[in-house]
Amino acid sequence: MFIQVDKETFPTEDSSVINVRQKLFPEEEKMPLVKYFYKYPLHYPTPVEMQIINTMNPIPVEDAIQPENFMSLLKPYGYDKYELGYCMFPDGSGYVATYRVRPPHITAEMERWYRNWRNLKSKSMVPGHGNLRYKIWNYADHFDHYYVNWKNGSDGIHTTESLDLGAGDRMYDTIRHEFPLSDFGMTDQWMAELKAAGCQLTSHGSYETFDEPGTHLCLSYSRPCPQGGVETRSREWIGWRPENGKLVRDPATKCDLDYLKKVVIHTLVEWEHLYTFLPELYAEYKDQPMDAD
């Protein structure tokens, strides 16, 4: 289902602020949660991040993690040559690498709480109006987020979003599915070594399907950052999916360099924004009923 959401621009003298946001419904404007939609400005990636994106990309194909080696991302220490970037593989599939650091004042419990809370809707949300809990995470691009079975992620997580920071692209429906990493070589010993080093990950990876043909393979994990906080290393292989314990190329997946760049920038924007409002949001809502407005 294609969704087109009305958006509006607002004046700002700060060129680092994204000045496009979607229009909310009257019912959303009445919710106490709405203050987080307006109070915290959404910012473009930092100048250093944009310098890397604009001058060092696309990265050399040989420096990307090849699809068949996707599990090599999971290591307790060390980095790839490029932790932030994108490229196209010769077969037309794509690669996205993103890196972020969760500041020390943002706890793992805060982030875990929000990852669950954003999938549950409050008592006053109207079907078809999306999820305000998700919209506050990126007011330019985010519309809806929920568990497919309305309880947990075991049957998939549904997302409706655009990726262009309000430039006019349509909203895409996505479902994220889990698959066991053990199908691709993860052992109890390997998992134990990662966790002994402070790495935070589950026994599952994920892949995404859409409201059009195509599949994305996704993998990420977190670990202590040497300079403080927690770093997250994430990768996507655009046009690949796990199937019966094997990695399969999905040639129907649309992919080009402009799209990959959008994915990188969108990902940086949303995570850096979450860390601006999460402490206040968590303090206000963590002890309220799960359907609180």
Q: What is the pLDDT of residues 192-208, one digit of tens each?
A: 999 999 999 999 999 99
Q: What is the pLDDT of residues 148-182, one digit of tens each?
A: 998 898 899 999 999 999 888 889 999 999 999 99
pLDDT of 127 strictly over 80? yes
pLDDT of 134 strictly over 80? yes
Q: Which pLDDT value is given to residue 168?
A: 85
Q: What is the pLDDT of residues 215-230, one digit of tens each?
A: 999 999 999 999 989 9
Q: Which pLDDT value is given to residue 186?
A: 97
In angstroms, the CA 59 to CA 162 distance is: 24
Q: Which pLDDT value is given to residue 7?
A: 87
| pTM, to two decimals | 0.94
Q: Which pLDDT value is given to residue 40?
A: 97
Calculate mean pLDDT across residues 79-91. Answer: 97
The pair of three-digit structure tokens given for residue 12, joined into one six-digit string: 């700002």
